[in-house]
Amino acid sequence: MAGAGAAHGRGIWHRAAHTLDSGFMLSSRFWRVALLGAVVPLLGIIPNRETHAAAPVTSRLTTRPGPAGTPTVTQSLATNVLVATIAASEGDNAEAARTFTRAAQLAPSYRPFVERAFLYSILAGSPDAARLARQQPPGVVPELVMGNAAAIASDWAGALAHYDKAPDDPIMNIVRPLLRAWALQGMGRTDDALAALNRAQADHLLGGYYTLHAALIAEMGGQAMRADTLYRRALDMSGGDLFTTRVLTHWLYRQGKAAQARDMIAAKIASMAALEPARPALVAALGRPVVTRPQQAMAQAYGLLALLMDQQNAAETPPPKPGEDHPAHDHDITTLRSTEQMMLRLSLMLDPANTEARILLSALFHAEDENQQAIDVLAEVSPNDPMAVVIRAEEGELDMALGHRAEAERIIRGLLRDAPTDRTLWCDMGDIMLGQGKWREALSAYTHALALSGTLEGDDWRVLFGQSIAYDRLGDWKHAKAGLTQALRMAPNEAELLNDLGYSMVEHGDDPATAENYLRRALALSPDDGQIRDSVGWVELRLGHVGEGLPLLERAAEQMPQDPAINYHLGVAYWVSGRRLEAVDAWQDAAQFHPDPPDQRKITAALAYAASQAAAHPPAHATVPADLRITPASTPAPAASGSTAAAPAVSPSAAGTAASPNPQTTGPADNRPAGDKKDGAHK
């Protein structure tokens, strides 16, 4: 079975060097000190999917009767805590905030409930966060929330007081100068605001970012010459985040340097191809100011923290260890993710139109497979936003991840009407067509994308991969193999490529020894991928190496017990091993897990044949399903990855009728990714 581990297609979802790359990286030690000092004391109590669930309500909470006909207070409290804990574990922060708030009202002396209600209200973006902040002990997060609430109300003196009151720690050392400066500017004290940023501008990592904000403050305060000086300095110092690019290109445009501004946008797009659809809108927006109110710039301060945390999270996420299905995360990394989400929510409270914050927040939800929440975050982006076209494309991919293929197709077709030469959109269209089994349309889309690519490099192997799958589904193995081979030259250590090429070669009777080598390499690269393990086991079985294939298929079924195709394969392995009852059990399991029609037909045929053989008088000439004609090879297959495999011990007529281990696909050689299992691996 081909691997389903392909990254979501557009680079905006990648955890490193994405669209919003800040260009800065702070030390691992810095973040650990910052988290231990500021946020862990609060986040440590959150019972979500990455931390331990909340402890049950203890007997210290008293029981007293409620009004007639209603449950007791303890029953109501227990219900709220249970609902809140479940909601938190499922990532439903809004429900967790509501139910922990009710629990806090029922048990006002039990501090953890109001603390949890406060933090979940932040993570949910609820306006209740400001009210709950006033009930918290002194700390960084409560003061930031109360300061933001004052800033939203244009109570600049109140905002400044809260920002000044927040305890010193590494996070406040970054964000306090920006928040104070903009609160002072809100009060009309431009000189004091600029003075608040003087020391920060000398910072060797973030000095350019502070200088950029100083330029914006000077411009908003009517000090045009001083602003120009600061903009020139920022141009030489700043990193490459999108906010900085947009602010500086707006200034260049107003200086009469439109060509230089366009070149700067082009350079940003060259570093992040996902921005290509937004090029016309970004150029058209050059004449519009990026910041018109202090709250917008203050929101960017939190956005900066989120960007830095995002990069640090990517840098510190360890690779998988043998025996792990997912990378291990220490508590600091887990907390870093929650803190990043908190910073993004604080940013959006100040400026709901902060598109960059919405992109990052949506990416966090997507990384946790909370794709509907990811869509909901993006849905609030204005259609007039310069990034709207990129947002729409992301919504299309998220719809694909949710199985909303028709909606995804509608979105991408609409975008292609406006941007017919956008290579990335053509890749998206190829993914969507592949997911719907429209092989010819998929081939056309991928071929169109390749024609727009010029020299193939980097992740372009993914385009070749998609094109090859389409070729193979259309019965053109020659072109499919050529594309897969070219893709493998570009990415020789991609397990999904090795897996797909090896499986396809066996299906087509093409050099089984080399095919087995590819598959063993794929499994060595991704030893915990259940689908790859199934693929290797199924191919070993097809080659007659039953002793090799059966343990792999059993392990794959343990990893993915509700996958109908894997259960079907395991049933075949049991059948050819003479374990008939276990085979029937596996096929019955496969039938109840909603297989796609091609798999359903194979499962039904296998069960019917098994029933006929178990009858008191088996029919003399019952048709044996092709997969059940596999005969064990006379000698076992060697275990080494470079071993020589025996020729396939299956009749030629069976070669094209093996079951599809991927329930999303149809057509020949169905053990390759398609649809949402491939998930648009091309950008």
Torsion of CA 201, 207, 210, 215, to 10 degrees: 80
DSSP H stretches of helix in 633-674: 652-655
Q: How far apart are CA 132 and CA 582, in angstroms?
A: 57
Map tokens 């390749």 to a residue. 450
Radius of gyration of the chain (CA): 29
The residue among 116 and 89 whose pLDDT is bigger is 116
Do 191 and 124 lie in one domain? The reply is no
Do 275 and 290 lie in one domain? The reply is yes
Write out pLDDT tens, residues 389-416: 888 888 888 887 787 888 888 888 888 8
Task: Give domain status of residue 334, yes or no.
Answer: yes
Which pLDDT score, from 0 to 100, does residue 394 have?
Answer: 85
Task: Give domain status of residue 475, yes or no.
Answer: yes
Task: Give domain status of residue 415, yes or no.
Answer: no
Q: How far apart are CA 122 and CA 344, in angstroms?
A: 10
Do 537 and 614 lie in one domain? The reply is yes
Q: Are 96 and 84 in contact (CB under 8 A)?
A: yes
Which pLDDT score, from 0 to 100, does residue 336 have?
Answer: 65
Q: Provide mean pLDDT across the span 246-265.
A: 95
Q: Are 36 and 42 in contact (CB under 8 A)?
A: no
Domain of residue 532, residue span: 432-678
Which pLDDT score, from 0 to 100, does residue 40 have?
Answer: 38
Q: Which CATH number characterizes residue 597's domain?
A: 1.25.40.10
For residue 433, pLDDT over 80 is answered with yes
For residue 459, pLDDT over 90 is answered with no
Which pLDDT score, from 0 to 100, does residue 14 have?
Answer: 30
| Distance between first and last Cα of the chain | 23
Write out pLDDT tens, residues 488-529: 999 999 999 999 998 888 878 888 888 889 998 999 998 888
The residue among 400 and 143 whose pLDDT is bigger is 143
Total structural domains in the chain?
A: 3
- Confidence band of 23 (pLDDT split at 50, 70, 90): very low
Domain's final residue, options 137, 161, 183: 137
Do 484 and 560 lie in one domain? The reply is yes
Which pLDDT score, from 0 to 100, does residue 236 have?
Answer: 85
Write out pLDDT tens, residues 638-662: 443 333 333 334 333 333 333 333 3
Which pLDDT score, from 0 to 100, does residue 41 have?
Answer: 40
Task: Give domain status of residue 14, yes or no.
Answer: no
Do 554 and 584 lie in one domain? The reply is yes
Which pLDDT score, from 0 to 100, does residue 45 have?
Answer: 40
| Tokens linked to 387 | 């990034």
Average pLDDT, the chain: 79
For residue 29, pLDDT over 60 is answered with no
Task: Give domain status of residue 223, yes or no.
Answer: yes
Q: Which CATH number characterizes residue 201's domain?
A: 1.25.40
Do 495 and 526 lie in one domain? The reply is yes
Do 373 and 446 lie in one domain? The reply is no
Q: What is the pTM of this model?
A: 0.68
Q: Are 244 and 238 in contact (CB under 8 A)?
A: yes
Domain's final residue, options 116, 137, 158: 137
The residue among 229 and 367 whose pLDDT is bigger is 229
Do 113 and 228 lie in one domain? The reply is no
For residue 32, pLDDT over 80 is answered with no
Task: Give domain status of residue 8, yes or no.
Answer: no
Domain's final residue, options 137, 159, 187: 137
* Of 524, 529, 548, 521, the residue nearest 537 (C-alpha): 548
Do 498 and 540 lie in one domain? The reply is yes
Q: What Å distances lie between residue 425 and 159, 275, 281, 458, 467, CA to CA?
A: 44, 11, 16, 17, 15
Q: Provide mean pLDDT across the span 224-230.
A: 96
